[in-house]
Amino acid sequence: MSPEDIQFTRDAIFTMISSYGQGHLDDNTRGHFFMLFYQFYAHVSENQRITSENLSDGEKQIAQDFASTFYRIGEKFEVNYVPNPSDVISGLHIFRFELLPQILNTVNIAQVQRRLIFQAQFRVEHSYLHVINDNAVADHCRFRTHQTLAEADACETFPEHCAAYFEYELKD
């Protein structure tokens, strides 16, 4: 990707993060939002990925706004349609493993809010997995997401490294 394409995609990602955190994305747009993560991370080098160190001030503000609202609305998502299941699932996992920890490294929120944000994201993933019922991978992902969510609900604290419990693979 050219530097211009990378910046354009980053801008789109953070615009969509803002809407996602407020619950303003419909099924189709949310699916494309997660596919965008997959496509971005599949096509940039390690040093071009979004990190807490390379966030602009505007991106940090979007991250703070996201962290302040998302944990309250994460349970309200309903999914009825998934445009491209494998890319959406890959994007969901990239969001949780790669981007969400980077965002949370830049915001000032209580540990309990961090835990609630991850729980809300697990619930969003679980909602997607209920719609995808056409292969064994979805069944495995559904089981692991449910298992991780149950463990998170049982914990009094929810360390960020628990997000890595759920495995994923990027396609070539």
- Give residue-wise pLDDT tens across range 42-73: 899 989 999 999 999 999 999 998 888 887 66
pTM of the predicted model, to two decimals?
0.74
> 12 is written with which tokens?
């789109």
At 40, give phi and psi (nearest 5°): -60, -50
Q: What is the 3-state secondary structure (H, E, C) of 52-103?
A: HHHCCHHHHHHHHHHHHHHHHHHHHCCCCCCCCHHHHHHHHHHHHHHHHHHH
Contact between 66 and 21 (Cβ < 8 Å): yes
Contact between 153 and 119 (Cβ < 8 Å): yes
Q: How many CB atoms lie within 10 A of CB 75?
A: 12
> 46 is written with which tokens?
């390690």
Q: What is the pLDDT of residues 119-144, one digit of tens each?
A: 788 777 777 776 665 555 566 566 66
In whole angstroms, give the CA distance from residue 54 to residue 56.
Answer: 6
> 57 is written with which tokens?
């001030």
